[in-house]
Amino acid sequence: MSAKLEIANLNKRFGGLVAVNDVSFNLEPGEVVGLLGPNGSGKTTVMNMISGALACDGGIVRINGTDITKMKPHKVARHGVARTFQLVRPLPTLNVSENVMLALAFGKQRHWGRTAREMAEDKLAFVGLAGRGQEKVGDLTYIDQKRLEMARALASDPDLLLLDEWLAGLNPSELQIGIDLVRHLQDQGMTILLVEHIMEAVRALCSRCIVMSAGEIIAQGACSKVLQEASVIKAYLGD
Ligand code: ADP
């Protein structure tokens, strides 16, 4: 359930805009690392290049030593990479269980003879939706939609989880549930890259932070130290 992620000299341009400029970092197996920075700093673009949703203009992405740089998203998923999206996007015409089963079709396909429904139930139980598989997605509360989104990401049995503001929009008690769920994954050894604006969550979960500004890494290291650096505060607050 753990993966090593290596990113070296990643670049991406959109026309004349350099969205990601020579970004390099590694995640060791089982690390939970925050990828931070103000809006537009390139975090989602980096996530998109790791997951294969976006082609890089240069650089290398490796997972457990395998070069996945040029792979399409479904192939990247087979190498153990999964992500949640900033927007909660289950298919509304399917029920909760069916939404997870659909996600099971991707990923590493370690089914070991179990039915898709059994595996979906396992993932739903893990995220706190045990026995809720037959419910309509449209009837779920916001936190339960977030749980479903996590169950769908976990359906592919990932080794590296990319969380793109998965905790956004939760009220304080829901936020604690979300943090606890990520911590549960952390305890199981999942490698996690967390793009997150909620600093309480970053402090609670991440051993290390990487801060981007205008497409470049401007600081990285222990969160407690990095978040106090003048360059980081300036990037967030401006001059
Ligand atoms: P963040 O996730 O840190 O908010 P993004 O990675 O979304 O930042 O965006 C980085 C920069 O790239 C921004 O200036 C954004 O406007 C630009 N950008 C992102 N995606 C596209 C795209 N598909 N086409 C053109 N510009 C884009």
Whether 177 is in a domain gets the answer no
Per-chain mean pLDDT for the chain:
91
Whether 171 is in a domain gets the answer no
**CATH number for position 210:** 3.40.50.300
Whether 8 is in a domain gets the answer yes
Whether 19 is in a domain gets the answer yes
Ligand 1 mean position, distance from CA 233 (Å): 21
CB 19 within 8 A of CB 13: yes
Whether 200 is in a domain gets the answer no
Q: Confirm or reject: Cβ of 95 under 6 Å from ligand 1.
A: no
Whether 25 is in a domain gets the answer yes
Structure tokens at 230: 């003048």
Amino acid (one-letter) located at 92:
P
CB 210 within 8 A of CB 220: yes
Q: Confirm or reject: Cβ of 213 under 6 Å from ligand 1.
A: no
Residue from 11, 18, 21, 45 whose mutation best tests the ligand 1 pocket (most atoms within 8 A of CB) = 45
Q: Indicate whether 82 pLDDT > 90.
A: yes
CA–CA distance, 91 with 49 (Å, rounded to integer): 24
DSSP 154: H
* Confidence class for position 89, pLDDT limits 50, 70, 90: low
Residue 99 burial by CB count (10 A; 0-12/13-18/19+): exposed, middle or buried? buried
CA–CA distance, 63 with 76 (Å, rounded to integer): 9
Q: How many domains does the chain have?
A: 1
Whether 65 is in a domain gets the answer yes
Q: Confirm or reject: Cβ of 39 under 6 Å from ligand 1.
A: yes
- Amino acid 26: pLDDT: 98
**Cα–chain-centroid distance for residue 101?**
20
- Residue 222: which domain range? 1-80+205-239
Whether 111 is in a domain gets the answer no
pLDDT digits (tens, 9 = 90+) for 7-41: 999 999 999 999 999 999 999 999 999 999 999 99
Task: Give residues with Cβ within 8 angstroms of 64, minimum separation 6.
Answer: 3, 4, 79, 80, 159
Q: Is the ipTM of this complex over 0.90?
A: yes
